[in-house]
Amino acid sequence: MTLDSLWDRIDTKLKKELSTIFYNTWITQLTPLAFQDGLFVLSAPNAFIKNIIDGRYKERIGELLTEETGARVRLLVTEPDDPAYAQYKEKKTVAPPKKERDKAQKDPARYTFSNFVRGKSNELAYAGSLAVADRPGAVYNPLFLYGGVGLGKTHLMKACADAIQQNFPNYKVVYVPSEQFTNELVASIQENKNEEFRRKYRSLDVLIMDDIQFIAGKEATQEEFFHTFNDLYNANKQIIMSSDKPPHEIRTLEDRLRSRFEMGLITDIGEPDYETRLAILQEKLTAYAIPIPEDVLQYIATNIKSNVRELEGALTKVIAQAKITQTPVTLASAQNALERTLGLRPKEPITVERIVEYVAREYQITPQDIYSKNRSRNIAYPRQISMYLSRELTDLSLIKIAGRFEKDHSTIIYGIDKIKKDMEEDESFARHIRNLRGYLTK
């Protein structure tokens, strides 16, 4: 199996074992670098995440690697500032078992136009993507898709890639998340391989970049992408981008990039309406050999409104419970599964105490540590995160928050400003805070 396919198998198991917030915050940040002589090397984007992985997940990842390969595997986690990073940057491969090769040949493409469910919320984005796939570089260049998490941006972009590669077999097409682009750029600078990096991206026929908003505030990345964009655009090569917001709302994005992003078609993907949500569930049912009553699908479509991923997750939960208990899916069983796992019961109020308890659990300390006068970084930083979230998620004034933490007013202001500044300077940390906030508000 390839390095990436081996990691995909481990990643899938970790996704099942860990809570959604822990998986999204930490595991999705990892990239496999090499596997040789019994040593599997993972890359984290920075030292902060590397230390989290080493402290919490390294042992379990090593166990899964050993189970998957049938031999004892050692695990090394590195990051771009680690001297070991460059040594293992070149990826290695291992031979695939026949069973996996056969499975790969039978599995249909996950993201195609044919299995994308269209509705009022995405019809313009779908039409624009289809036109680009038919005539890349000739219409809607660049194509800029924006919208919230789990609404189908990545599906449409990968459907474009799939269709273009079928329609134009000789085209060089690359799909890349913006953070991977940044990491490759950093590595190319460290290894003095700038020209190789530029040849890779500036010789493409189609460049598809996901989550373009993450290059905001990164001067070197924006500089490199500006010239890459110009080279491709001037050569009539297709550029497709996605973001969680339109170009004019991306803070710290250079004006010259913003103006180029606005040169083509900008289209949003909104939350699906009830009819689209029901159609999505019916489409997903084709992957399961189990009957689902229509009233169950209607119940899910009525209660899960925000995005497609949550719809899929709800359907998966209902089917998993039926398989585990070996009972048919009914409306009552679906209500029971979703009320307990997806928060369809009344929401628990957000309080300072609840925030502190969750942050303490996330950082493996106690709530008493956060309320204490301990000023060590491993205590003070979670305390400042708790202060920030208390200000964001409750109606309490700064004075009342200070009272809950038994700190003075200026300490609360400093802690909140510290977290805001760190979020602006470190996108991975900002995503971590958004994930914490998302868990507390769901």
Does residue 45 carry a pLDDT above 80? yes
**Mean pLDDT across the stretch 352-371?**
91
- Just give the CATH number of 274-339: 1.10.8.60
* CA dist list (Å): 164 to 112, 159, 205, 350: 11, 8, 10, 47
Same fold, 274-339 and 352-441: no
CATH superfamily of the domain spanning 352-441: DnaA protein, C-terminal DNA-binding domain (1.10.1750.10)
Predicted TM-score (pTM) above 0.85 = no
Q: pLDDT value at position 276? A: 83
pLDDT-derived band of residue 105, with 50, 70 and 90 as boundaries? very low
Lowest mean per-residue pLDDT among 173-177, 278-282, 359-363: 278-282
Share of residues in the chain with pLDDT > 70 (%): 91
Does residue 60 carry a pLDDT above 70? yes
pLDDT-derived band of residue 357, with 50, 70 and 90 as boundaries? very high
Structural tokens at position 133: 């796939």
Domain ranges of the chain: 3-90, 122-268, 274-339, 352-441
Lowest mean per-residue pLDDT among 16-20, 172-176, 369-373: 16-20
Share of residues in the chain with pLDDT > 90 (%): 31
For 327, counting Cβ atoms within 10 Å of its Cβ (0-12 exposed, 13-18 middle, 19+ buried), the class is exposed
CATH superfamily of the domain spanning 122-268: P-loop containing nucleotide triphosphate hydrolases (3.40.50.300)
Tell me if the domain spanning 3-90 has CATH number 3.30.300.180.
yes
Does residue 93 carry a pLDDT above 80? no
pLDDT per position as a tens digit, 220-238: 999 999 999 999 999 999 9
- Of 414 and 273, the one with more pLDDT: 414
CB burial readout 399-427, b (16+ within 10 A) else e: eebbebbebeeeebeebbebbeebbeebb
Q: pLDDT value at position 89? A: 63
User: Mean pLDDT of all residues in the chain?
Assistant: 84
Q: pLDDT value at position 1? A: 55
Give the C-alpha separation, 29 to 314, whole Å.
25
* CA dist list (Å): 78 to 34, 83, 291, 296: 11, 8, 46, 46
